[in-house]
Chain A
Amino acid sequence: MPTLTYRDALNQALREEMQRDANVFLMGEEVGVYQGAYKVSRGLLEEFGPMRVVDTPIAELGFAGIGVGAAMVGLRPVIEFMTWNFAVLALDQIVNSAAKLLYESGGQLPIPIVFRGPNGAALQLGAQHSQAWESWLSHIPGLKVVAPATPADAKGLLKSAIRDNNPVIVLEGEMLYNTKGEVPEGEYVVPIGRADVKRAGRDVTLICHSKTVTVALKAAEQLAEQEGVSAEVVDLRSLRPLDEAAITASVAKTNRAVVVEEGWPHCGIGAQVVDVIQREAFDHLDAPVLRVTQADVPMPYNRQLERLAKPSPDKVVAAARRVLYLD
């Protein structure tokens, strides 16, 4: 199986889906001539031309809405945001148009559109450029939200997102674009709504998604080496719909859980996961569920402060030790 970067896996998914369906087009800032702010769209303008790889002005609200309008008449737009921080300007179109048109039209207007781009903090970009938006987006009925952690999942989930008849949010990671992994060639789709056990274990479940999968996997390694603890890493992959069965099955086995995310703690994804666990696996729990999140502050610029603010393997290990009563 070929090894690809996360960036190239996304590129492959876009290219294959654009070859497969003439109604799929890509629109966003710098996606064409510049080849993508993060080079996800490299080569696509040359292959598909300017009608299908559309450079836009810096006008997130406008081009997101143009995408939704195009979806209303049967196209399958892929709208790229340079980052999800800028997509906040387009929230009206995502929340009030894309997510609601099917319902408020009594089922007449499905909106098959993908909104994608990097989400969460990179390195020292400061408060406005370092935010994780998944809890905001996952709150909205009518949207689906996915957050792939590996190149294979990036390809498979983006392909599923493009084929889905609903608005799908694809949260990528700036720090993930260069990561490498094996990616199946050609037709490879990952169904939306299925979590994936990235490492099997017996003693504690680490629930994570996107960049925090790497954090959790490192923590699991440390736990195995330093404590002899066998941690199971469950990658949610989809945040809406959430794979409640996978979460429950793992916790039923390990009886303990730590939820890791890049977002802030208040009303975060972890809060939703904890709700599932207390509801569906209450009798299996041997300890309260703990969460590891970004610190409840705007992201600082200073390198040391930023490190303190982010979830880390050490923080996950510490939380796991507490739910295992090792402290």
Chain B
Amino acid sequence: MTTATAHAQKDQSQAELERRMLRQMLLIRHFEEKAAEAYALGKIGGFCHLYIGQEAVAVGSLAALLDDDYVISSYREHGQALVRGISAGAVMAELFGKATGCSKGKGGSMHLFDAAKRFMGGHGIVGGHIPLGAGIGFGIKYKGGDQVCLCYFGEAAVNIGAFHETLNMASVYHLPVIFCCENNRYGMGTAFERVAAVTDVAEHACSYDMAAELVNGMDALAVYAATQRAVERARKGGHPTLLEVRTYRFMGHSMSDPLHGVYRTKDEVEEQKKRDPISQLALKLKEEGALDQAGLDALDAEVRAEVEEAVKFADESPDPDPGELTTHVVAD
């Protein structure tokens, strides 16, 4: 193979990766927009935390994983669930509380699960699932496997004791875990710098003798590259990594929260939207000549149709049978 041919092939596979990432980000964006609509119509109840603005984090990091790796996340996990391969229909049906949802309608927006896809939840207590991520890593190591566990949480979870206890133990026990802190700057309505003495989350890794990296969370490819390095450390040597991925949520904390609220300005939100991870990647693909406007429009239409289909599926799916109330409380 000539060098020129090799380069051409590499460029092509890189373009394919970027197109795939763009499609996944569009899927999350349109899925979340539809979820917001459905919430307003009363079809989704309870708490519903949207991922709009943060798409590059899930898409970039999950691209670095293999199918038998594990993923665990917080309650802002629709995006990760979709990228991990749970169908948009099964996720939307779960938000609708339907029997066909990925948790049979018993989990809801905050508790999406698909054990077969090694998506180990959606967890609702801030920081409460971080030890679970380490436990999954412990299980991998115990069985002598070469998988890794990717554990997502927001920056507000860093103030929780469980975060510090877990990072310490993950380092002491050499667990194959990537701790992915999605720093979107606000824990609900509280700016991180108002409640955190150390505002560079990555610095916490020093306390636990752990590798760390600060990553631009609006750039899916940067997230991908950093996660690849962390995965390599975990898979080869059982070394955990703390990634601090700087991102921003364009929506309120949850659907019951206004778009920008009193804790941040409209201008700040608008300014951040200029860093939109989707338009950035779309622009890059266009500049590389890998995608033109017609191609982008076609991709967008394809994704919108997929989301429409998901909503239709969720709408037409049945509620769980009343008998489901008392199943799955205890296992046989």
Contacts and interface: CB of A to CB of B under 8 A. Distances in A.
B277 interface: no
Chain B CB count within 10 A is highest, among A69, A103, A112, for A69
Contacts of B106: 103-106
A59 B138 contact: no
B165 interface: yes
B130 A65 contact: yes
Nearest to A105: B113
Contacts of A97: 123, 128-129, 132
B131 A62 contact: yes
Contact of B107 (A64, A73, A104, A144): A104
Contacts of B102: 106
Interface stretch (B218-226, B230-238, B287-295, B324-332): B324-332
Interface in A32-50: none
A66 B328 CA distance: 22
Contacts of B166: 62, 65-66
B155 to A, nearest CB: 19
A305 B123 CA distance: 45
A19 interface: no
A108 B136 contact: no
Contact of B135 (A56, A65, A109): A65
Contacts of A105: 103, 106-107, 111, 113, 115, 121, 328
A107 interface: yes
Given A65-B166, A71-B135, A101-B121, A106 B105 contact: yes
Interface residues of A, number: 41
A96 B114 CA distance: 19
B281 interface: no
A65 B107 contact: no
B131 A109 contact: no
B168 A72 contact: no
A68 B131 contact: yes
Contacts of B157: none
A64 B114 CA distance: 23
Given A65-B166, A69-B134, A108-B113, A93 B128 contact: yes
B329 A64 contact: no
Contacts of B129: 65, 97
A63 interface: yes
B60 interface: no
B79 interface: no
A173 B22 CA distance: 59
A65 B132 CA distance: 5
A135 to B, nearest CB: 19
B125 interface: yes
Given A75-B142, A109-B120, A69 B168 contact: no
Contact of B330 (A65, A67, A92, A102): A102
Given A70-B139, A73-B139, A102 B331 contact: yes
A65 B115 contact: no
Given A69-B136, A103-B106, A144 B330 contact: yes
B140 interface: yes
A61 B161 contact: yes
Interface string A92-121: 110011000111111111101000000000
B interface SS class: mixed
B135 A107 contact: no
A1 interface: no
Nearest to A74: B139
Interface string B75-111: 0000000000000000000000000011111110001
Nearest to B108: A104
A72 B128 contact: no
B248 interface: no
B135 A106 contact: no
Chain B CB count within 10 A is highest, among A68, A72, A142, A166, for A72
A69 B107 CA distance: 18
Nearest to B141: A51
A298 interface: no
Contacts of A61: 131, 161-162, 165
A62 B128 contact: no
A92 B161 CA distance: 12
Chain B CB count within 10 A is highest, among A74, A103, A144, for A103
A70 B137 CA distance: 8
Given A61-B131, A97-B132, A106-B105, A56 B169 contact: yes
Contacts of A68: 131-132, 135
Contacts of A59: 165, 168-169
A57 interface: yes
A321 B158 CA distance: 58
B113 A65 contact: no
Given A109-B113, A142-B329, A75 B169 contact: no
A25 interface: yes
26 contacts: A51-B141, A62-B131, A62-B168, A65-B130, A65-B134, A66-B135, A68-B131, A68-B132, A69-B131, A69-B139, A70-B136, A70-B139, A70-B142, A73-B70, A73-B143, A93-B131, A96-B124, A102-B330, A102-B331, A103-B106, A104-B113, A105-B113, A106-B103, A106-B107, A107-B327, A144-B330
Nearest 7 A/B pairs, CB to CB: A69-B135, A65-B131, A62-B165, A106-B104, A73-B139, A110-B331, A105-B113
